[in-house]
Amino acid sequence: MTLTVMFSLALFTLFVAITPGPNNLLLAGSGAQFGIRKTVSHLIGIRLGLSVMLLVCASGFSSILTTSPILAATLKYLGLGYMLWLALAMLRHQKIGNTPSNSSPFSVTQAALFQCVNIKSWTASMTVIASFSQSTHYWLSVACIITIFIIVGLFANLCWVWLGKKAAALLTTVKRTRIFYATLCVLTIMSMVPLVVT
């Protein structure tokens, strides 16, 4: 993989990883509610889950999805349903620091498994493997893709956690907190709209 291709891949990854989507909006909420340190497990889980997903797509699963409309549709609508449930769950937060008793940051496992139903992650993984993997030294190019996805994606995700942490300083009342989480909920649902119409 040439430096030019790697640079293009890094730009693509940055665009995909830093734009609003379920992962980033959940990370912003977690950063606000739990802080940066407690959100590290969520960050690691996302990177781990996406790395496995890229390997799965590179191994041919994306071609199975394209030839099986029923399987693709099932995965799509199960994922959209779960993401909608998570978005609406944000509305339970009343005030920063007053976390519901059953609320906690995503664990590494939970964040990794969430990628299985994250349609944006599937779309990005299939696109990047199709666009940047190379027939010569195929698995080496896949390894480069995964490495760049981890490094650039981690930076992008950390920006959202930091944004959430900074927002927490302003969320001193129930009203402000409700507005913050309602905004995250609406943005999460809006990020799903393009996935519904495709």
Say yes or no to pLDDT of 98 above 60: no
What average pLDDT does range 36-56 have in this prediction? 94
Percent of the chain with pLDDT over 90: 26
DSSP 98: B
Burial label for 173, CB within 10 Å (0-12, 13-18, 19+), is exposed
Confidence bin at 176 (pLDDT 50/70/90): confident
The share of the chain scoring above pLDDT 70, in percent, equals 83
pLDDT in tens, 145-157: 999 999 999 999 9
What are the CA-CA distances from residue 161 to residues 10, 64, 78, 103, 188 (Å)? 20, 35, 26, 17, 15
State the pLDDT confidence band at 54, using cuts at 50, 70 and 90: very high
Question: Is residue 28 over pLDDT 80?
Answer: yes
Does pLDDT of 78 surpass 60? yes
pTM of the model: 0.76
pLDDT at 81 over 90: no
| Of 61 and 139, the one with more pLDDT | 139
Determine contact, residues 108/41, Cβ cutoff 8 Å: yes
DSSP element (H, E) containing 196: helix 174-197
Beta carbons within 8 Å of 43's beta carbon, 6+ residues apart: 27, 111, 154, 157, 158, 161
Q: What is the identity of the amino acid at 30?
A: S
102's CB contacts (< 8 A; 6+ apart) are none
For residue 197, is pLDDT > 70? no
* pLDDT given for residue 161 in this prediction: 95
pLDDT, average across residues 162-178: 82
Query: 47: closest CA among 129, 155, 137, 132?
Result: 155
pLDDT given at position 48? 96
